[in-house]
A and B are shown apart, each in its own frame.
Chain A
Amino acid sequence: MKNHAWRPFLVAGGAVALLLTVRANVVPSDFGVNGRNFTYGFYRKGAIAYWKAVKVKYRGREYCQDCHEDKEKAIMASPHKIIQCENCHGPAIDHPDNPPKLTIDRSRGLCLRCHALLPYPGTNRASIPGIDPDEHNPRQACVDCHNPHHPNLEDMK
């Protein structure tokens, strides 16, 4: 049958075939309804492996104690035992291989996160001894006088 009307159909068919071929090659095979339903579970399964493979950087205090036993012992016998080492020294990642040393932050800002006096009697903040940073030995590092790993006032030098 010869009819000019078939041509557009052929072109359209070709376009659909091309689209399907491209789709088959571009869309990963693990893409589809992988979860609960189409609305919430339409995704590429490999994305889960991607997020699981993110590197763990914060290792926790248990990781430090073998090599920095003195610091660990001191802090555990002080009111700072609730603070993780890495909160003040940054993430260990693969320390001591990489980085070989962790940061030492002697800034007042580190201590003021918890110790800056805020007039909020109803909060847990009020249970931490607070100082007014403008009054309490300004312009001097807190750790010149206080031991961050053992801040107990009765043991002060």
Chain B
Amino acid sequence: MNPSRRKFVKTALAGGLAAALPLSALKMLSPAEAHASIGNDKVRWAFVVDTEKCVGCGLCVKACKLENEVPYDAPVTRTWVERYVITRDGKSHIDTPKGGRDGFTSPKIRDEVIPADEITQAFFVPKLCNQCSNPACVQVCPVGATFQTDDGVVLVDRSWCIGCGYCIMACPYGVRFFHPVYKTAEKCTFCYHRISKGLKTACVQACPFGARQIGNLKDPSDPVTKIIMTQRVAVLKSEYGTKPQVYYIGFDERVR
């Protein structure tokens, strides 16, 4: 046998194998997968918070905790309400006792009495997961346990989450926390079990004043879409480039 031919066959085989290896790592997308990667073209959930309507009753926080089985007395919550009181000296007094779960029943802020004639502005700001278009929390997950659905909701896979807490640190809005019972990352799901059945989220249904609304951005006749298209709305920390999908009416620059 010609030794140079044997060598050639060997090199060719090895080279062929080496070339094929990275090819198997790349995957061809089927048309259905390619379509899915563009996103669901019928539904894109978005939320509108009207801070001018909020009275700080906290019924949304109560409803959220009970609907989503977030331990009621643990200091964690998927949604909360902040109170901002601005005084004449330009100071902001901010609090959210128990996340606003029991409402704001006293004018005292952190045991501090703020004289009524010192107050120039006061408002309540409900907060929840912004369901960002570019969620930083999803980018950092090392195991693929948190993700964005085709209709734009960021969810956590409880059976896959290893509880490392990267996502909790990565969220610029601090909406994620560690679930004391499941020991996994936890966050607002826009009540995925409700919206996917045509119901409103628990907080939207609970709010007596219409300060919270959820709707479908892909439907031009949806009231939420109309508000976002026609009114002056703002998102939190837009400079982070996360593209939040929770829009605020009556936004104030002091709200962070």
Show the binding face of A for B, using Cβ within 8 Å: 31, 33-37, 39-44, 47-48, 50-58, 60, 82-84, 86-87, 90-91, 109, 112-114, 116-120, 122-125, 128, 133
- By a CB distance below 8 angstroms, the chain B residues around A34 are 36, 147
**Interface residues in B88-115 (C-beta closer than 8 Å to A):** 102-107
Selected from B68, B144, B156, the residue in CB contact (under 8 A) with A54 is B68
Selected from B66, B121, B160, the residue in CB contact (under 8 A) with A57 is B66
Q: Quick one: given A47-B157, A91-B66, are A35 and B150 in contact (CB under 8 Å)?
A: yes
Q: Does B218 contact A (CB under 8 A)?
A: no
Closest to A53 in B: B193
Closest to B85 in A: A120
- By a CB distance below 8 angstroms, the chain A residues around B219 are none
A117 to B63, CA, bound (A): 23
Closest to B141 in A: A42
A36 touching B148 by the CB < 8 A rule? yes
A87 touching B63 by the CB < 8 A rule? yes
Nearest-CB distance from B124 to chain A (Å)? 7
Closest to B52 in A: A124
B122 touching A84 by the CB < 8 A rule? no
Q: Quick one: given A33-B37, A120-B122, are A113 and B145 in contact (CB under 8 Å)?
A: no
A57 to B205, CA, bound (A): 12
A43 to B150, CA, bound (A): 12
B209 touching A42 by the CB < 8 A rule? no
B116 touching A55 by the CB < 8 A rule? no
Nearest-CB distance from B139 to chain A (Å)? 6
Q: How many A-B residue pairs have CB under 8 A?
A: 154
A35 to B38, CA, bound (A): 8
**Interface residues in B33-52 (C-beta closer than 8 Å to A):** 33, 36-39, 52
Show the binding face of B for A, using Cβ within 8 Å: 27, 33, 36-39, 52-59, 62-63, 66-68, 85, 102-107, 116, 119, 121-124, 134-135, 138-139, 144-150, 155-160, 189, 192-194, 196-197, 199, 202, 205-206, 208-209, 211
A53 to B66, CA, bound (A): 16
Nearest-CB distance from A76 to chain B (Å)? 13
- By a CB distance below 8 angstroms, the chain B residues around A119 are 107, 116, 119, 122
A116 to B206, CA, bound (A): 19
- By a CB distance below 8 angstroms, the chain A residues around B105 are 109, 112-113, 116, 133
- By a CB distance below 8 angstroms, the chain A residues around B36 are 34-35, 41
Closest to B27 in A: A33
A51 touching B123 by the CB < 8 A rule? no
A31 to B149, CA, bound (A): 14
- By a CB distance below 8 angstroms, the chain B residues around A53 are 193
Selected from A31, A58, A112, A120, the residue in CB contact (under 8 A) with B67 is A58
A50 touching B158 by the CB < 8 A rule? yes
- By a CB distance below 8 angstroms, the chain B residues around A82 are 208-209
Q: Quick one: given A82-B208, A109-B105, are A42 and B147 in contact (CB under 8 Å)?
A: yes
Q: Quick one: given A36-B148, A48-B149, A87-B206, are A58 and B57 in contact (CB under 8 Å)?
A: no
B122 touching A122 by the CB < 8 A rule? yes
Q: List 9 A-B contacts (CB under 8 A).
A: A40-B148, A43-B157, A57-B66, A58-B66, A60-B205, A82-B209, A87-B208, A113-B105, A123-B122
Top 5 nearest A-B pairs (CB, nearest first) are A113-B103, A119-B116, A43-B147, A120-B122, A47-B157
- By a CB distance below 8 angstroms, the chain B residues around A60 are 199, 205
A41 touching B148 by the CB < 8 A rule? yes
